[in-house]
Structure 1
Amino acid sequence: MGDNRGVQQRLGRAVSSDGTAVAYATVGAGPPVVYVMGWLTHLELAWEHPAERAFYEALAQGCRLVRYDRAGCGLTAAVDRPASLEFELEQLAAVTATLDGPFDLIGTSMGAPVAVAWAATHPGTVRRLVLYGGWLRGHDLSPPAVRDHVLGLVESHWGLGSDVLTDIFAPDADPVTRAGTARYQRACSTAATARALLALSYDLDVTDLAGRVRTPTLVVHRTGDRAAPVAQAEALAAAVDGARLVLLPGRSHLPYVGDRHELVAVVRRFLGLPVARRGADGLTRRQREVAELVSRGCTNREIAAHLGIDERSAEGHVERIRLRLGFRSRAQIAAWYGARRDLD
């Protein structure tokens, strides 16, 4: 089994058939697991988002998790080509071409129907398929008037549209996380790209393709998901021959918000991976002690007093933790530790 201790996110570029340079990131070591993310993505900002990073770190233990930014999002530049399922599959093809042999495939939210389409049209490449928060027909997600209203908000008032969607995607998140998620969405792409990709989400229909999937499939969904009604998960599981449906409590559409521990555990069991290890973060025991105290809001002086060390040593520990995790502030360390604790 691969050991993720001390491993950082590694960035690369893969070129699609039309010349699009797709940015991708790998975390961990072991058999490859390709992760098709949802609507908007940003590899670097996601890695700086404590809850999201903790989720990916837990998934990546014992495997090599591969994520990527679709065109117009994050580190992948926009191109003069409309969003479409065909283009989504071309970008996924570019990323998977960097791998040797078959891989496990996870699709979340908008990435779920894309993953279904890939598994249906490239049956020999996928070992196991995991679909979280997905759907068969995007038109069934909400009434036409609601879809048009949200698309209009995104296009004309990107800040407001982002806040509205955060209320839908992460209703159970704390205020800080919700505000951070809204800022994250705005930083991922322009309003025009965000609208185009959201419109594609509504237009995706893999009803015919789902029946062609022969890969062992797990469909996971939260029962109170406000972005993708649970009926869509039930329809998706029914459409894929032999698919297993697991329903989890919760309302958040974002996989890293809410009960992340159970979601990670369900996915890892299906992929044949052992229970995620505690402390698999590359920090020393003392550094984890310091990180815990930072999460409690302790100053360097208070950390020093608690651990029986001098204040300068405490400051050095905090700085090394920050550098090791690639964070910019104590607040990120605190939030990351809290997210890790929730997963343990």
Structure 2
Amino acid sequence: MLDKSAIQFLPLGARRIAYEVRGDGPPLVAPAWWVSHLELDWQDAGFRRFWQGVAQGHTLIRYDRLGVGMSDRTVREADLTLDGEVATLRALLDELGLRRVTLFGGSSGSCTAIAFAAMHPERVDRLVLYGSYADGAAITAPEVAEAILAAVRAHWGLGARMLSNMFLGGADAASLDRFARFQREAATAETAADLLALVYRLDVREYLARVEVPTLVVHRRDDRAIPYRLGREVAAGIPGATFVPLPGSAHFPWHDDVDSVARACCQTPAAPQPHDAGDEPPVLLSDREREILACVARGLSDREIAEQLVLSPHTVHRHVANIRTKLGRTTRTAAVAEAARLGLL
């Protein structure tokens, strides 16, 4: 049982983060995701049911990141980085004297978990990722991300309701209202927007191939917040990772069919196989990049692509440059040829 525990605080310089330790058994640590609140989280019946299933037989350790929940609400620019997220996780494990743990990385917490597992393989027994991604810029089109951030900053009430619809899929009105209120209590509008911007900036693609621990990747097929293809790309990039697709559209695992997600997350992932130096790492292209690549393959210029896709020429030029970089080719023609060889066209 995950009995209620006292909230504890870890000093980080002049500020403190709030954390909790529940249950008994090997440590299961959940890196913080977008916004949380250590006390209010547990008022959700689905949240309680999910963690009772996933953390059964474990000691569950959770924390509120700086700026949200019960942690100090002051956020600095240095906090809004992957390095800052990893440093917070490392500091908490050191404080608790935990030498090896299982990491549960949900949503944006998956990026912290992936990076930490790659940097400190000796401290991670197992990696469980849910609703994960490696490239935040691939979550949605830049103009959509900017519109979401602007809405959150301009009117937190409407912004929170909009995000509730995105995160909870087809939830009923009462659930949407509850989660909208929760978001407003967990963080201010400015902090929520800053942390959401970090979600879109995080990029851990370089760490995927360096993960050496058994890894389980679980993703709902119709996830409305983090596209299903991004979870598949995470699994493809981590050597030996086990991928478990599930039905459903809610992003949070404690909504929709909670028990199925909990059971999936409790599976034992296969041990990673030795890496073959001759294996090619997967090429991860966003939907927009694939769309532009198809236009390039048809011989269209940046301006023609911009007109067809209703983008600025500058945006198209940047995407084409990113595509060439990812494919390891310096010209458009060579990039198209390489994409065809890899089955991307």
For the criterion TM > 0.5, the same-fold answer is yes
| Residue equivalent to 2:185 | 187
Deviations 1:187-245 (A, max 9, x none): 10111110110000000000101111111101100000010111101110111111111
The one-letter code matched in structure 1 to 2:123 is: T
Alignment equivalent of 2:90, drawn from 89, 93, 100: 93
| Residue equivalent to 2:291 | none
Asked whether 1:65 is paired with 2:60, we answer: yes
Mapped contact 1:22–1:95 kept (Cα < 8 A): no
| Residue equivalent to 1:292 | none
Alignment equivalent of 1:107, drawn from 92, 100, 105: 105
2:52, 2:20 → 1: CA distance?
Answer: 12
SS at structure 2 position matched to 1:185: helix
Mapped contact 1:133–1:221 kept (Cα < 8 A): yes
The one-letter code matched in structure 2 to 1:211 is: A
Of the structure 1 ranges 262-271 and 135-144, higher mean CA displacement relative to structure 2 is found in 262-271
1:30, 1:161 → 2: CA distance?
Answer: 40
1:113, 1:100 → 2: CA distance?
Answer: 20
SS at structure 2 position matched to 1:92: helix
Runs of 4+ in structure 1 over 3 Å off: none
| Residue equivalent to 1:136 | 134
Mapped contact 1:151–1:198 kept (Cα < 8 A): yes
| Residue equivalent to 1:147 | 145
Mapped contact 2:121–2:213 kept (Cα < 8 A): yes
| Residue equivalent to 2:9 | 13
Q: Paired residues, what number?
A: 267
Mapped contact 1:170–1:178 kept (Cα < 8 A): yes
1:156, 1:127 → 2: CA distance?
Answer: 43
Go from structure 1 to structure 2 and tell me whether the alpha carbon gap of 1:234 and 1:134 turns closer, same or farther (over 3 Å shift): same
SS at structure 2 position matched to 1:270: coil
1:271, 1:183 → 2: CA distance?
Answer: 36
How far residue 100 of structure 1 moved from its aligned partner, in angstroms, is 2.9
How far residue 10 of structure 1 moved from its aligned partner, in angstroms, is 3.3
Matches within 5 A, 1:319-330: none
Go from structure 1 to structure 2 and tell me whether the alpha carbon gap of 1:63 and 1:80 turns closer, same or farther (over 3 Å shift): closer
| Residue equivalent to 2:293 | none
Of the structure 1 ranges 235-244 and 98-107, higher mean CA displacement relative to structure 2 is found in 98-107
Matches within 5 A, 1:151-170: 151-170=149-168
Asked whether 1:31 is paired with 2:26, we answer: yes
| Residue equivalent to 1:47 | 42
SS at structure 2 position matched to 1:73: coil
2:15, 2:213 → 1: CA distance?
Answer: 29
How far residue 28 of structure 1 moved from its aligned partner, in angstroms, is 1.0
Mapped contact 2:134–2:234 kept (Cα < 8 A): yes
Q: Which runs of no fewer than 5 residues in structure 1 stay unpaired? A: 273-344
How far residue 122 of structure 1 moved from its aligned partner, in angstroms, is 1.0
Asked whether 1:171 is paired with 2:169, we answer: yes
1:270, 1:174 → 2: CA distance?
Answer: 33
Deviations 1:53-87 (A, max 9, x none): 22222222211111100001000012351211111
The one-letter code matched in structure 1 to 2:85 is: E
Mapped contact 2:214–2:269 kept (Cα < 8 A): no
How far residue 19 of structure 1 moved from its aligned partner, in angstroms, is 4.4
Deviations 1:273-301 (A, max 9, x none): xxxxxxxxxxxxxxxxxxxxxxxxxxxxx
The one-letter code matched in structure 1 to 2:161 is: D
Asked whether 1:212 is paired with 2:210, we answer: yes
How far residue 20 of structure 1 moved from its aligned partner, in angstroms, is 3.4
Mapped contact 1:27–1:57 kept (Cα < 8 A): no
- Normalising by structure 1, what TM-score? 0.75
Mapped contact 2:220–2:245 kept (Cα < 8 A): yes
SS at structure 2 position matched to 1:252: coil
| Residue equivalent to 2:239 | 241
- Normalising by structure 2, what TM-score? 0.75
SS at structure 1 position matched to 2:129: strand
2:85, 2:73 → 1: CA distance?
Answer: 13
2:265, 2:232 → 1: CA distance?
Answer: 17
2:53, 2:214 → 1: CA distance?
Answer: 22
Q: Which runs of no fewer than 5 residues in structure 2 stay unpaired? A: 271-345
Mapped contact 1:104–1:127 kept (Cα < 8 A): yes
SS at structure 1 position matched to 2:185: helix
